[in-house]
Structure formats: C-alpha cells, structure tokens
Amino acid sequence: MPPSALRTPVLVAGAGVVGSLTALELAHHGVPSMVVERADRPARIPDLLLINGRSMELLRRLDLTRDLRAAGLDPDCPLDFLWSAGIDRPPALQWRLPPVATLRQAYASTTDGTAPIEPYLLISSPGLIGRLRRALRGHPLIDLRTRWTLTEVEAEADTVTATVLDAEAGARHFVEAGYLAGCDGADSTVRRCAGLTLEELGPPAPHLILHFRSPTLAARWANPTVAVTGGTTVITGHDGDRCVAYVPLTADEQAALANPADLLQDRLGVAEDPSRIVTVVQRAGVPSVARSYRRGRVFLAGQAAHQVETPGDDLATCIGDAVGLGWRLAAAVHGWAGDRLLAGYQTERRRQALADREHAVRRRATRLRLQRLVESGVDGAALAAVLRNGPAQLDPAGTGPAELAGVAGYRPPAFRLTGGGQFFDRLGPQFTLVDLTVGQDGYPLVKAARTRGIPVRHLPLAGAPTPAAWSGRLVLIRPDQVVVWSADGPPIDCDGVLDEATGARSRLYENT
C-alpha cells in the first residue's frame, strides 16, 4: 500500500447523477466519501429529463427537491407529446402531461396512499447535474475532486486502492478506500478494471443525439414539446432556442455519415441552417446489463451497470441504484450489516434493470405501431385507442401497482398526519418501525435492534388516519422507504425479523 495514499471510507468514481446521489446518500447516513470526476463541469447537451414522483420522494429524503425544482421547468407548464408523419405536418395524435401544479393538487386529494407526495420534475441534464454537484461541494462529508480521472483499481480482501490522475496538477494519486462505487457511465473504467462484463439484451439501435439551435422550431408550439415522427424524435421549447433530436441510424447511414446537419434537415422535413448544430453524439444503443454488479468491495451503479437504447429512459432506475447502494454501503461502514445485505444490492437492482428492459421493449413496439398508423393516415380516435391499450409510455408517478402498496418489498402507502404533515417526512434516516398499537407493542423489536447496534426509529402513530391499504399495526420500513416486514402484533422472533431486514437472511426487497 503506498504510504502517501489518500484514504476514504468510500470512493465514488463519477459525479454524474448516480455518483452524486450515491455520495449524498452516504452523507445522509453520516459516511464520508471522496468523489472523483474527470470533467470540471456538466456537458451542455440540454436533454430534458423526467424525474418521476417516486424518485422525487427519494430525493426529498436528501433535502434536494426544493433546489432541483428551482432549476426545473415552470410547474404551471404542461409537456405536450405529438405524433405525426413529419414536423411540418399537423399532429395525428396529441397527449399532454399535466403541469406539476395540477398534479400536486390531485395528489393532495388522493386518500388511498398510492399517489406520490411529490409530483414529477422536468429538468435539463446540465441543470440536474449542476445542482447535485453544488450539493456535493457544500457538504462537509463529501470531498469532490474534479478533473481527477480514475485509471486503475487494485482490490484486496479488506480494501480497494485506486490510481487517479489529477489533470490540473499533472500528478498521480493513490486512493485507499473501504469500498469503491463505479458510477462512471457506459464506458466505465471501474467495470473494466474489476473484470465485470455486460450481457447484451437486444440488437443495437444506433442513433445520433443532436443538440442544435432553432428559434423557429422552438417557437412552433406553445408548450415544451416532444415531437415523434418516423425519422426522429425532437424535444424543444424547454431551453430557449436549444433543441435536442434523437435520430435513428441505418447501417448505411452509419457508414456514410458525413454531415449531421443534412441528415437532420432530411429527417425533420424543414430547412435548418447547418451552422446551428452545436453538438453531435453518436450512440451504439445496445441495451445491456452487467452480469454482476459487484466484485468484492467494488460495485457498479447506473449506466456502468445497465444501459438502455435512449439515454434518460432509465433515470428512475439510476436514482434507485444510487439510493440502494448508498444506504447499504453506509450500513457496512457503520458495522451493523454484513455481506448479505451488500449482496442484496445486486439481486434487487439487476432485477429492476431487467424489468425495465421488458417495459422498454413493449413501449417501443407500441410507438412503432403508432408511427406506422400515423404515416398511413389513420384518424386520431384509432391512434388514441392504440395508446390506451398499450403499455404506459410515461409514468409520472412511478409508485408501482396500487395493489402492492404496503406489501413487503414495495413502497408503503402515503398519507397526511392529523397535523397536516406527510407521514414520509417522519421516517428516520435508517430503519423505522411504524407502531399503530395503543400500547406501543413494537418496542421489543426496537430494543432488540438497538442491542445489536441496528439504528431503528420507533415511530408511534396510534390513531393515525392510515389508508385502507396499510399492511399492519407494526410496519418496519427500510432507509429507502421500502416495507421489510409487517404484522398486527410483535414478532415471536425479533432477531429473525432483524436478520432478514439487515441481510442476515437472503430475502430482500426493493421497488423504485
């Protein structure tokens, strides 16, 4: 071990969305970390990202929602989705995502607990990453090093040593960490160094992401708009005159691609000044998932672990990765949970990535069918019927099936307390035992946990107005707001319940 090595409990590679949130989740549990990031500022491609309500609930725990909403789209502004045969032709089908302000009112009046306590957020990729990095810089437990590039990893039984290059100083550093979180994107150096490989889940879907300026196109519609045609998908009206186009490529186009501006003009069917193209990114679009998310003390999260055809479609899963990995690593650092809890991270998150892939396949099939119908001239009523009968193209809530609310492995039902506050805001940073019994019958479980050094908040709520879907008078909830166990009375075997919750038994749950 180099004597001059820097030391940190957890080293996080990458300060994108996943790396930033992993570090912030660790800090939420009192664990310091070092974050290394090769770029000194976020990329300027103005992708429009949707953070669904369930993901916003997870970010609310980290006190991030107010700052992120300040950088997002106007909460009174809807987002329009248009399907047409061409940008210059009237839409054959139009669907509107209601404004945040409208959904906030609707959620407040929902009493069955299935609605999220936070509406969705629309925010640009640079805006999201910029705000998260500002949170990193402002946190005393997080050491952010930009223009530091991780190049090598050496993992041993009880530690990980990374070689990192400091571009600004022209120096090489060694960082010794208890754990390494590889959040360094699709071309992950951590994944390569750890010898972890990707399993391809489908054929490539090569495409270009074009960032261009077009005052004419940005002003074409009154609201921010996603326009879907056979040749491209354009997002516009969310960032001044800046637009983003996702352009699928054929094999011939990949081989002969010389002028993206000409390709864009051809696909849009409208005249665009080629000089207005700002950035071109080419993607292979190979859907894939890591065969293993872990090797020893090295973990993968986000796009280092799973990749989708279109960037941004897996944002909810990426946020779930960061929260799921962060609280588990914190538990391991604090010493109250062991290897089975860490192993549960891969089990849950890989299962979620595979489920996302199945949903993406069905959504893509519906969109292709819609587009064929649009081009054939089918009327709007028939198109709307196809959309209604197909899988959801967009889920602004993200809370999962209503019938599973409160079931072990899923989010508990949300409700307001008698004083008007949100029940979710009363949950502790680690485990919480919600106790609805008159005599606080859950205390033996809490006592057993504290004896073992497991942090559990005892939350007596006898008489609280719980929804009908509430699963028991005693409910144990994980740090990521997932139900672990529920019953109407105290368990006969408190240690057995705690073993399962902390990973001493293999059955673990998560839904994000």
Print pLDDT tens along the chain (512 aa).
565 789 999 999 999 999 999 999 999 999 999 999 999 888 777 789 999 999 999 999 999 999 999 999 999 999 999 988 888 888 888 889 999 999 999 999 988 899 999 999 999 999 999 999 999 999 999 999 999 999 999 999 999 999 999 998 999 999 999 999 999 999 999 999 999 999 999 888 888 888 988 888 888 899 999 998 877 899 999 988 899 998 888 766 666 566 777 778 777 766 655 558 888 888 888 899 999 999 999 999 999 999 987 767 899 999 999 999 999 999 999 999 878 899 999 999 999 999 988 888 888 888 788 778 887 888 777 877 877 777 767 889 999 888 888 889 999 999 999 888 999 999 999 999 999 999 999 999 999 999 999 999 999 999 999 998 899 999 999 999 999 999 999 999 999 999 989 986 544 444 44
Q: Which of 166, 168, 165, 163 is CA-nearest to residue 180? A: 163
**What percent helix, strand, coil does the chain show, rounded to 5?**
35, 25, 40
Report strand pairing: 198-200 vs 288-290.
antiparallel
Coil, strand or helix: which one is 227? strand
CATH 3.50.50.60 residue ranges in the chain?
6-70+119-200+287-369+383-389
**C-alpha span between 355 and 344 (Å, rounded):** 17
Q: Which residue is it, tokens 């893509």?
A: 364
**DSSP designation for 451:** H
Superfamily of domain 76-111+206-284: D-Amino Acid Oxidase, subunit A, domain 2 (3.30.9.10)
What count of residues does the chain have?
Answer: 512
CATH 3.40.30.120 residue ranges in the chain?
402-502
Cβ atoms of 374 and 85 within 8 Å: the answer is yes
Residue 87 Cα to chain centre, angstroms: 31
Q: The tokens of 210 are what?
A: 């074009």
Cβ atoms of 96 and 80 within 8 Å: the answer is yes
Q: Which residue is it, tokens 């960061």?
A: 322
Q: In what order do the strands lie in the sheet with 306-307?
A: 198-200, 288-290, 306-307
Give the DSSP H/E element, type plus range, for residue 399: none
Under CATH, which number does the domain 402-502 receive? 3.40.30.120
Long-range contacts, 160-168 (Cβ 8 Å, 24+): 160/11, 160/296, 160/297, 160/298, 161/1, 161/2, 161/5, 162/11, 162/13, 162/36, 164/36, 167/38
Cβ atoms of 62 and 406 within 8 Å: the answer is no
**C-alpha span between 249 and 283 (Å, rounded):** 10
What do you get for the CA distance between the two ends of the chain, in Å?
A: 39
Tell me, what's the pLDDT at 232?
86
**Sign, Cα dihedral of 54, 55, 58, 62:** negative
Tell me, what's the pLDDT at 509?
42
Q: The tokens of 29 are what?
A: 């549990």
**C-alpha span between 330 and 510 (Å, rounded):** 17
Tell me, what's the pLDDT at 375?
78
**C-alpha span between 62 and 56 (Å, rounded):** 10
Tell me, what's the pLDDT at 383?
78
Q: Which residue is it, tokens 């196109």?
A: 217
Tell me, what's the pLDDT at 512?
45
Tell me, what's the pLDDT at 472?
93
**C-alpha span between 223 and 100 (Å, rounded):** 14
**C-alpha span between 149 and 40 (Å, rounded):** 11
Residue 132's φ and ψ, nearest 5 degrees, are -65, -40
| Helices 443-451/494-502 angle, 10° precision | 60
Q: Which of 158, 153, 181 is CA-nearest to residue 300? A: 181
Give the DSSP H/E element, type plus range, for residue 432: strand 431-435
Cβ atoms of 433 and 475 within 8 Å: the answer is yes
**DSSP designation for 449:** H
Q: What is the DSSP string of 293-335?
A: SEETTEEE-GGGTEE-SSTTTTHHHHHHHHHHHHHHHHHHHHT
Tell me, what's the pLDDT at 258?
65
Give the DSSP H/E element, type plus range, for residue 56: helix 53-61
**C-alpha span between 131 and 264 (Å, rounded):** 31
Tell me, what's the pLDDT at 508?
42
Residue 438's φ and ψ, nearest 5 degrees, are -70, -40
Superfamily of domain 6-70+119-200+287-369+383-389: FAD/NAD(P)-binding domain (3.50.50.60)
